[in-house]
Amino acid sequence: MADRTEDAAVRLTEYADLHGCSCKVGQSDLDDLLGEAGLTQSRDELLFGVGEDAAARKLTDDLALVSTVDFFTPIIDDPYDFGRVAACNAASDAFATGASDNLDCLVVLGLPQELTDVAPSVLAGIADAIDGMGGAVAGGHTIISPWPFAGGAVSATAPPDTLLTSQGASAGDRLYLTKPLGSQSAMGALRVSDDEFADVVADAAGRPINQIGDEALAWMTTPNRAAAIAGRDLATAATDITGFGLVGQAEVLADNSGVGVELTRLPVIAGTEGLSALFGYGLEDGASAETSGGLLLSVPAARSADLESRLDDAGVFYRQVGRVTDGSGVSLDEPTIEPISR
Amino acid sequence: MTRVDVSGEVCPRPALIVRRELSELEAGDRLLVRGDYPPAERNLCRMCRKRGFSVAKSEDGSDGDTFELTIEVTEDAEIPEA
């Protein structure tokens, strides 16, 4: 770790050893934890809950309340940008269920004592991001913590019959991803872009690191709201891509839906494929952690043209990245890696 | 055997430090890596194996978050340029 006292400017990422969604507890550890705590059973009073991106409760025949909480350690040094990414990531779990109305966010914030002066900037980033999604910051809770973290408890509503989970994918569905991958490699490169390895990192990227970082930030602060609305009544299942990476999230979808997933294409932020090879992050295997990634939408072939048309109209990035099979698990065999520039 | 300690280093620096060490080696050489950042172990194994190096985890030197890897430069290994 760098000597924090030498830096005049605050570098938030130096205050935590794990960054962004990389700090997420692994799927198998989480499964063990839920099992030990007796929290694996579905609850009659909920439409869905544990094991999904968010929980949903049916309030009336026309209205369901979706709630979720998500927070993580700094993925980026700038406090305002960290707030924006954290808010976007927290709301993404609600959007993955298709809920996009009446969005409220209760801020969850933890900062070391010596960093409390950045709190207004983090909060402003969260507030601006939530405002941009048509939502409201409705309160929150702030603590002193050795590692900084930020996020929120997000609630939103939707008609119950439009809600999506990871359980509805069917063989023959096409799988769409609504953001390119590579945020982990982009942010990792920024952390070493001014140290002794700057040259080798720049060579591996083949593009200016700052440009890759700016593009990654732009993707991480793009809300999944428009993608969620486009998928309404068309998708059969959805999840968002976070710390488990594309393959990890696809495994959750495959297991929960009782299907197989065949991944054939990996859109990546241009330059991150070379960075990942240098860092050993596994982007080319779909294994790298993503922070505030896109939605993975499972859509029957007959409806895919409608989905693409809606996504085009809404200006949402998308690629078909694979398909659902009647097998099990996830396969990724020499996928086409497509560099994406904004 | 060459040794490098990446304890206290956070990703992606362990991979970059190990890569620099590997660039000094030749086929048949071995590099012992010690570290204490859990994600680094997986990332180092992946980075090295993809380049054709052989990687073995030492159970003796691995305790809690601390890990110890022995990386061997095989005939097919793609040794990085310095």
Taking only the tens place, the pLDDT of each residue in A75-113 is: 899 999 999 999 999 999 999 999 999 999 999 999 999
Cβ neighbour number for residue A187 with a 10 Å cutoff: 28
| Domain chopping of chain B, boundaries | 2-72
Residue A226 covered by a domain: yes
Task: Please tell me the pTM assigned to this model.
Answer: 0.92
CB contact under 8 A, A200 and B19: yes
Which pLDDT score, from 0 to 100, does residue A22 have?
67
Spell out which residues of chain B touch residue A280, defining contact as CB-CB under 8 Å.
12, 15, 42-48, 50
CB contact under 8 A, B12 and A200: no
User: Within 13 Å, how many C-alpha atoms sit on residue A188's CB side?
Assistant: 37
Q: How far apart are CA A209 and CA A264, in angstroms?
A: 27
Q: Which residues pair with A143 in a beta bridge?
A: A110
Pull the structure tokens for residue A37. Answer: 């705590």
CB contact under 8 A, B12 and A191: yes
Residues of B assigned a catalytic role = 11
Average pLDDT, chain A: 93
* Average confidence (pLDDT) over A145-174: 97
Asked if the model's pLDDT at residue A292 lies above 70, the reply is yes
Average pLDDT, chain B: 91
B42 touches chain A (CB under 8 A): yes
Q: CATH number for the domain including A150? A: 3.30.1330.10
Asked if the model's pLDDT at residue A20 lies above 80, the reply is no
A110 and A232 within one domain: no
Asked if the model's pLDDT at residue B38 lies above 80, the reply is yes
The answer to whether A299 touches A232, Cβ cutoff 8 Å, is no
A303 and A334 within one domain: yes
Q: What is the pLDDT of residues B6-35, one digit of tens each?
A: 998 989 999 999 999 999 999 999 999 999
CB contact under 8 A, B48 and A1: no
Residue A298's H or E segment, with its range, is strand A295-299
* Average confidence (pLDDT) over A9-20: 80
Mutation site for A-interface testing, chosen from B47, B55, B78, B81 by largest number of A Cβ within 10 Å = B47
Percent of chain A with pLDDT over 90: 85
A15 and A109 within one domain: yes
Identity of the residue in B8, B37, B43 whose CB atom sits nearest the CB atom of A280: B43
Spell out which residues of chain B touch residue A200, defining contact as CB-CB under 8 Å.
16, 19
User: Is this prediction's ipTM beyond 0.90?
Assistant: yes
* Domain tally, chain A: 2
Closest CA to A23 of A122, A151, A214: A151
Q: How far apart are CA A8 and CA A271, in angstroms?
A: 30
B7 touches chain A (CB under 8 A): no
**Distance from A196 to chain B by nearest Cα, in Å?**
10
Residue A167 covered by a domain: no
Pull the structure tokens for residue A339. Answer: 């560099």
Which pLDDT score, from 0 to 100, does residue A298 have?
98
Identity of the residue in B20, B37, B43 whose CB atom sits nearest the CB atom of A279: B43
Residue A225 covered by a domain: yes
Q: What is the pLDDT of residues A176-187, one digit of tens each?
A: 999 999 999 999
- In single-letter form, the type of residue at position A249 comes to Q
Spell out which residues of chain A touch residue B16, defining contact as CB-CB under 8 Å.
192, 197, 200-201, 278-279
B47 touches chain A (CB under 8 A): yes
CATH of B2-72 given 3.30.110.40, 3.40.720.10, 3.40.50.10190, 3.30.70.2860: 3.30.110.40
Strand A174-177 and strand A319-325: pairing?
antiparallel
**What's the start-to-end Cα distance of chain A, in Å?**
32
Compute chain A's Rg from CA coordinates. Answer: 19
Q: CATH number for the domain including A223? A: 3.90.650.10
Which pLDDT score, from 0 to 100, does residue A53 have?
85
A8 pLDDT tier (thresholds 50, 70, 90): very low
Spell out which residues of chain B touch residue A188, defining contact as CB-CB under 8 Å.
11-12
A69 and A137 within one domain: yes
**Distance from B10 to chain A by nearest Cα, in Å?**
6
Asked if the model's pLDDT at residue A1 lies above 60, the reply is no
Residues of A assigned a catalytic role = 21
Residue A312 covered by a domain: yes
Residue A168 covered by a domain: no
A295 and A221 within one domain: yes
Strand order in the sheet with A55-60: A55-60, A63-72, A149-158, A101-111, A136-144
B55 touches chain A (CB under 8 A): no
Identity of the residue in A17, A18, A282 whose CB atom sits nearest the CB atom of B46: A282
Spell out which residues of chain B touch residue A279, defining contact as CB-CB under 8 Å.
11-12, 15-16, 43, 47
CB contact under 8 A, A188 and B11: yes
A331-334: long-range contacts at Cβ-Cβ below 8 A with a sequence spacing of 24 or more?
A331/A260, A331/A261, A331/A262, A331/A263, A332/A247, A332/A263, A332/A285, A332/A286, A333/A264
Pull the structure tokens for residue A296. Answer: 């993975």
A198-205 helix and A209-220 helix, angle to the nearest 10 degrees:
70
CB contact under 8 A, B47 and A17: no
A180 and A153 within one domain: no
| Residues of the domain holding A299 | 174-340
Q: How far apart are CA B2 and CA B21, in angstroms?
A: 8
CA-based nearest residue in chain A for residue B19: A278
Please give, one letter per residue, the 3-state secondary structure of chain B. Answer: CEEEECCCCCCCHHHHHHHHHHCCCCCCCEEEEEECCHHHHHHHHHHHHHCCCEEEECCCCCECCEEEEEEECCCCCCCCCC
CB contact under 8 A, A1 and B12: no
Mutation site for A-interface testing, chosen from B10, B42, B47 by largest number of A Cβ within 10 Å = B10
Pull the structure tokens for residue A141. Answer: 């809770």
Pull the structure tokens for residue A38. Answer: 């007796």
Flag the least confident range among A7-11, A126-130, A288-292, A313-317.
A7-11
Burial tier of A13 (Cβ tally within 10 Å: 0-12, 13-18, 19+):
buried
CB contact under 8 A, B15 and A278: yes
The answer to whether A261 touches A216, Cβ cutoff 8 Å, is no
**Burial per residue of B12-36, b for 16 or more beta-carbon CB atoms within 10 angstroms, e otherwise:** bbbbbbbbebbeebeeebebbbbbb
